[in-house]
Amino acid sequence: MAANCKLSLLDLGRLDVDDGFFIRGATAALQSNPHPAFERRRVAVVAAVVEHPAVGPILFDTGCVQNARDEWPEPAWDAFPRNVYSDEHHLDNALAAVGYGVSDIRAVVIGHLHLDHAGGLEKFAGTDTPVYAHELEIKQHYYAVATKEDIGAYLPGDLNWQLNWQPLHREETELFDGLVVRHMPGHTPGLLTMQVPTQNSGHFMLTSDLYHVRDVFEQDLTQGWLGRDSQSWYRSHRWMKQLQRRYNATMVYGHDASVLEELTKQAKTFD
Ligand SMILES: [Zn+2]
């Protein structure tokens, strides 16, 4: 496995969200705690750029559509308002801050197609940039919107068949030399994680929303209202736990602001 990628994390703003969405039972009324506080957590929208020595810059996840206030359905905004979003959090500006333009991006890998991960695909409309996603996620996007079963989490506006979609089918794919993506369903049917090897900073696991926040991974909790298939999720979780130990990998979560801030304080780019 080649070990010479560079990784830069992108900070695409903050959402304020009830912890019950992330952690099962977090705000449940119990006999021992009949009146729990309904905590809302300020979480980050996280994406990443991996500079691969042979391929060039690869974007993992894309954040929300720039004009989310107007594009998102009102119930989605009410539950997950993006209350921090200055110029620096726009995808193109966040990319520029780590040295890339949108047109430098050679490939996009989509962890999953929910509204806060696929919205930035708007920047790739009209381009030939390959967009890698799992077959089941591409199918789920249409199904969720068409049946209205999960419309809101998946947006009709993010469904763009003219993008250069590149479906992945297998459980594990070495997409480019040393860069491995894995199908880890549970939060959504086609969720992909990506393992990024670097020369001096070890391995990183980009997990999209296999974990929204660090508590779920570190304390072996279960996904809250945003979880869809618990049994699949547990299988993915056990696999990720094993991989993290095997590679002593640094974990990057879909929305954990404290992890994002700690890592970006350590280095703008890990190499
Ligand atoms: Zn998310």
C-alpha 50 to ligand 1 mean position (Å) = 19
Give the per-residue pLDDT at 57: 98
Query: What confidence tens digit (pLDDT) does each residue in 95-120 have?
Result: 999 999 999 999 999 999 999 999 99
pLDDT at 2 over 70: no
C-alpha 238 to ligand 1 mean position (Å) = 20
C-alpha 153 to ligand 1 mean position (Å) = 9
C-alpha 32 to ligand 1 mean position (Å) = 31
C-alpha 116 to ligand 1 mean position (Å) = 5
Strand residue runs (E) in 85-159: 107-109, 130-134
C-alpha 41 to ligand 1 mean position (Å) = 14
Spell out the residues 6+ positions from residue 191 whose beta carbon is closer than 8 angstroms to its own: 111, 112, 134, 137, 183, 184, 185, 208, 209, 210, 236
Locate 231 and state its tokens: 């049994």
C-alpha 254 to ligand 1 mean position (Å) = 6
C-alpha 71 to ligand 1 mean position (Å) = 16
Spell out the residues 6+ positions from residue 255 whose beta carbon is closer than 8 angstroms to its own: 15, 17, 22, 43, 44, 45, 46, 209, 212, 213
Q: How far is C-alpha 143 from the geometric centre of its chain's CA atoms?
A: 20
C-alpha 201 to ligand 1 mean position (Å) = 26
SS3 state at 193? strand
C-alpha 24 to ligand 1 mean position (Å) = 16
In whole angstroms, how far apart are CA 48 and each of 27, 82, 154?
A: 31, 19, 21
C-alpha 208 to ligand 1 mean position (Å) = 7
pTM: 0.96
C-alpha 117 to ligand 1 mean position (Å) = 6
Locate 57 and state its tokens: 């810059």
User: Please, which residues bridge with residue 42 across strands?
Assistant: 16
Neighbours of 184 (CB within 10 A): 27
* Cβ–Cβ < 8 Å for 14, 84: yes
Query: What confidence tens digit (pLDDT) does each residue in 133-145 have?
Result: 999 999 999 999 9
- Percentage of the chain with pLDDT > 70? 99
C-alpha 110 to ligand 1 mean position (Å) = 11
- Percentage of the chain with pLDDT > 90? 94
C-alpha 268 to ligand 1 mean position (Å) = 22
* Cβ–Cβ < 8 Å for 124, 102: yes
Give the per-residue pLDDT at 107: 98
Give the per-residue pLDDT at 151: 87
**Where in the chain are the domains?**
6-21+40-266
User: Please, which residues bridge with residue 203 across strands?
Assistant: 197
C-alpha 174 to ligand 1 mean position (Å) = 24
Class of the CATH domain delimited by 6-21+40-266: alpha beta
Query: What confidence tens digit (pLDDT) does each residue in 26-43 have?
Result: 889 999 999 988 778 999
Using 50, 70 and 90 to split pLDDT, how confident is the model at 1? low
Give the per-residue pLDDT at 37: 82
C-alpha 187 to ligand 1 mean position (Å) = 10
Lowest mean pLDDT among 2-11, 70-79, 202-211, 213-222: 2-11
C-alpha 230 to ligand 1 mean position (Å) = 17
Query: What confidence tens digit (pLDDT) does each residue in 40-63 have?
Result: 899 999 999 999 999 999 999 999
Give the per-residue pLDDT at 27: 86
Give the per-residue pLDDT at 99: 97
